[in-house]
Amino acid sequence: MAARRPPETGSDLLIEVRDMTKVYGTGDMAVQALRGVSLDVRRSEFVAIMGPSGSGKSTFMHLLGCLDRPTSGSYRLAGQEVSRLSADELAIVRSRQIGFVFQSFNLLARTSALENVELPMLYAGIARETRTARAKELLDSVGLGDRLDHKPSELSGGQQQRVAIARALANGVPLLMADEPTGNLDSKSSAEIMALFRRLNDQHGLTVVVVTHDMGTAAWSKRVVTFRDGRIVSDTPVAEAVPEPVRVAAEQAARAAVSPPSEGVRQEAPA
């Protein structure tokens, strides 16, 4: 099994984690979910985080996403130490630095696609005219320019996930985190969503971190980090981590996927 990569150095590091631990509970009831994890992710990388249930990968995703704080260790995101920030400060970091995509889409059921995408910009205090224009641009860029007024119940699973991706990009964040993003989708829709992630990474330099248990999903990434028992046990290029037949199938799916036009996606934050 390949050894974990040594720490990186340089200003292009987006994620810098050192000796991170996470313990839930105390005393005899304490559960050590992470045991001294260190990891670097450079800007514009596409990383898959894998591991069996209970390996620590979901806990790590929550910490990387600033949804929780580690018990000990250091976490620098875009050069800022975030491991000891308050809940309000973490909320600001999430708004400015991280877009989230979840398995269950997490869209507002009674709200249109356009309004769902506008929501992060509303919370960020962006003027209405600006956020509406930005939301339309993002939905068009993911192939839903003709679905602006549709509610989630009027969209397929793949279309709902595209709305969720557009929403995640609304504030011009540099990091997209996806937790089992294809878990509720059929194979065709899964390929289209992963092709969209690949395009955002390749053409627009978006850093993508996908948490998954599925080797087929990991095959779309460029680097695979594997967890077991709260530790990183391997960190390798996708060609070493994923069997060739699985990688070939992903490449074939990428060519077959109908990818929306890319001109509209811009990663700068709206004014």
pLDDT in tens, 115-135: 999 999 998 999 999 999 999
Residue 266 within any structural domain of the chain: no
Residue 189 within any structural domain of the chain: yes
Range of the domain at 209: 13-256
Residue 134 within any structural domain of the chain: yes
Task: Count the helix, strand and coil residues of the chain and give each as a percent rounded to the nearest 5.
Answer: 35, 25, 40
pTM metric for this prediction: 0.88
Assign residue 167 the CATH number of its domain: 3.40.50.300
Residue 154 within any structural domain of the chain: yes
Statement: residue 271 has pLDDT above 60 = no
pLDDT value for 262: 43
Statement: residue 2 has pLDDT above 50 = no
Joined together, the tokens standing for residue 112 give: 């249109």
pLDDT digits (tens, 9 = 90+) for 167-203: 999 999 999 999 999 998 998 899 999 999 999 999 9
Per-residue pLDDT band at 56 (split at 50, 70, 90): very high
Domain count, the chain: 1
Joined together, the tokens standing for residue 22 give: 């996470």
Residue 182 within any structural domain of the chain: yes
Helices and strands (H and E) in the chain: how many: 9, 10
Joined together, the tokens standing for residue 108 give: 């507002």
Residue 5 within any structural domain of the chain: no
Residue 7 within any structural domain of the chain: no
Residue 6 within any structural domain of the chain: no
